[in-house]
Structure 1
Amino acid sequence: MKTLTYFLNQFQLIRTTIQLNQFITADSNNAVLRRTLSNLIDSHRFVSNNEWDNTCSCGTNGSCMVSEGVFCRSYGTCFLFSSKPNQTIPGLFVSCLLVESILASSLECFYNTSCIQMLIDWYPFDRTETTLDPRVLNVTALDSTINSRFSPDTKLDIIVSQLFLEYWINSTNFSSYYNQCEPDQCFYTYEERFNRAYIIATLLGIVGGLSIVLRILIPPIVILLRRMYRQCRRFQTNVRREMIVEIDIRQKITLYLIRFQQFIRTINFYRKVKNTHSQEIVQTTDEISIIQRQQIATRLYIILFIVAIVIIVTFTGLNSPIQSIKVSSPTKLIFEQLQFQYSSSSLSCPCSQISVQHSKFISIKPTAYHQVCSSYFISSNFIQLLWDSESFESYYYDVDMKILSLHFNLLSSFCSLAKIMIEQKIEIFYSQQFISVELLTRHSFQIQIDSIIENFIYQVPINFRQIHNYIIDMFHANQLHNLFLTNWNLHLSSPAEYYLMRTDPITYNTTNISCSCAAMSTCSRSILTRYNKTVVLPGLVIGCLPIYGLRLSTLECLYDSICLQKLSNFSNMIYNIPSFLNISMYSRFYPISSVLVGTLIDELFIEGWQHETNYSSYFSICAPSMCLYGGLTVGLKIFIWHSLHACLHVRKWLIFRRRRIAPNHTS
Structure 2
Amino acid sequence: MKFPLIHLKQFEQLYIKYPDTLICSCNEISIKYAEFIKLTPVYHEICSSAFISLKWINYLDFTYLNGFSFDYSNLSPSFQPQILRSLCQLVEETVNSNLIQFHSRTFISNQLISKYICEKRINNTIYLFQNSTRQTFKQIFELTREIFHGNALITIDDKRSWKEEKKPINDNIVYMRLPSIYSDETCSCATSLNCSGQAMMKGVPTHGFFIGCYPIEAMLRSTLECLYKKSCLNLISSNYEQNSSNFPIELLQLKTRYNINETIQNMIDRLFVDKWNVNYSYLNYSNKCHSTECTNSIIQQFHMLYVVTSIINLHGWLTMLLRLLIPLIINISFRMYYRRRQMVIVPNVTTKI
1:600 to 267, 275, 281: 267
Structure 1, 488-497 or 436-445: larger mean CA deviation: 488-497
2:206 alignment partner in structure 1: 537
Q: Does 1:572 align with 2:241?
A: yes
2:12 to 336, 340, 343: 336
2:328 alignment partner in structure 1: none
**Residue identity opposite 1:562 in structure 2:** S
Alignment of 1:513-592 (within 5 A): 513-528=185-200, 534-575=203-244, 576=247, 578-582=249-253, 585-589=254-258, 592=259
- Give the superposition deviation at 1:525: 2.3
Deviations 1:500-552 (A, max 9, x none): 543211112x4x443211122222222447xxx54432211111001011011
- Give the superposition deviation at 1:435: 0.8
Query: SS of the counterpart of 1:519?
Result: coil
Deviations 1:255-279 (A, max 9, x none): xxxxxxxxxxxxxxxxxxxxxxxxx
Deviations 1:618-650 (A, max 9, x none): 1111122432213357996xx99xxxxxxxxxx
2:338 alignment partner in structure 1: none
| Alpha-carbon contact 1:482-1:488 (below 8 Å) kept | no
Q: For the aligned residues, what is the CA RMSD?
A: 3.0
- CA–CA distance in 2 between the matches of 1:632 and 1:369? 52
Query: SS of the counterpart of 1:570?
Result: coil
- Give the superposition deviation at 1:462: 2.3
1:626 alignment partner in structure 2: 293
Q: Does 1:361 align with 2:36?
A: yes
Query: SS of the counterpart of 2:74?
Result: helix
2:180 alignment partner in structure 1: 506
- Give the superposition deviation at 1:593: 2.4
| Alpha-carbon contact 2:75-2:157 (below 8 Å) kept | no
Distance of aligned partners of 1:389 and 1:494 in 2 relative to their CA distance in 1, 3 Å threshold: farther
| Alpha-carbon contact 1:527-1:534 (below 8 Å) kept | no
1:430 alignment partner in structure 2: 103
Distance of aligned partners of 1:497 and 1:412 in 2 relative to their CA distance in 1, 3 Å threshold: farther
Alignment of 1:93-104 (within 5 A): none
Between Structure 1 and Structure 2, whose CA radius of gyration is higher? 1
1:348 alignment partner in structure 2: 23
- CA–CA distance in 2 between the matches of 1:580 and 1:332? 50
1:376 alignment partner in structure 2: 50
| Alpha-carbon contact 1:535-1:570 (below 8 Å) kept | no
Identity over aligned pairs, percent: 28
- CA–CA distance in 2 between the matches of 1:568 and 1:389? 10
Distance of aligned partners of 1:339 and 1:387 in 2 relative to their CA distance in 1, 3 Å threshold: same
- CA–CA distance in 2 between the matches of 1:574 and 1:537? 21
| Alpha-carbon contact 1:540-1:553 (below 8 Å) kept | yes
- Give the superposition deviation at 1:594: 1.4
2:134 alignment partner in structure 1: 461
1:162 alignment partner in structure 2: none
- Give the superposition deviation at 1:600: 1.2
- Give the superposition deviation at 1:588: 2.5
- Give the superposition deviation at 1:459: 2.9
Aligned residues: 298
4+ runs deviating over 4 angstroms: 492-501, 632-636
Deviations 1:288-320 (A, max 9, x none): xxxxxxxxxxxxxxxxxxxxxxxxxxxxxxxxx
| Alpha-carbon contact 1:522-1:544 (below 8 Å) kept | yes
- Give the superposition deviation at 1:570: 2.3
Query: SS of the counterpart of 1:594?
Result: coil
- CA–CA distance in 1 between the matches of 2:269 and 2:151? 22
- Give the superposition deviation at 1:499: 5.6
Distance of aligned partners of 1:425 and 1:450 in 2 relative to their CA distance in 1, 3 Å threshold: same
TM-score by length of 1: 0.41
- Give the superposition deviation at 1:596: 0.9
1:616 alignment partner in structure 2: 283
| Alpha-carbon contact 1:555-1:596 (below 8 Å) kept | yes
1:327 alignment partner in structure 2: 3
Q: 5+ residue gaps in structure 2?
A: 65-70, 311-353
2:121 alignment partner in structure 1: 448
Deviations 1:184-219 (A, max 9, x none): xxxxxxxxxxxxxxxxxxxxxxxxxxxxxxxxxxxx
- CA–CA distance in 2 between the matches of 1:383 and 1:461? 28
- CA–CA distance in 2 between the matches of 1:634 and 1:389? 85
Query: SS of the counterpart of 1:587?
Result: coil
| Alpha-carbon contact 1:347-1:629 (below 8 Å) kept | yes
Alignment of 1:5-404 (within 5 A): 325-328=1-4, 330-344=6-20, 346-366=21-41, 368-388=42-62, 399-402=73-76, 404=77
TM-score by length of 2: 0.75
Distance of aligned partners of 1:446 and 1:335 in 2 relative to their CA distance in 1, 3 Å threshold: same
| Alpha-carbon contact 2:179-2:190 (below 8 Å) kept | yes
- CA–CA distance in 2 between the matches of 1:632 and 1:414? 59
| Alpha-carbon contact 1:543-1:549 (below 8 Å) kept | yes
RCO higher in structure (CA 8 A, sep ≥6): 2
Q: Does 1:419 align with 2:86?
A: no
Query: SS of the counterpart of 1:541?
Result: strand
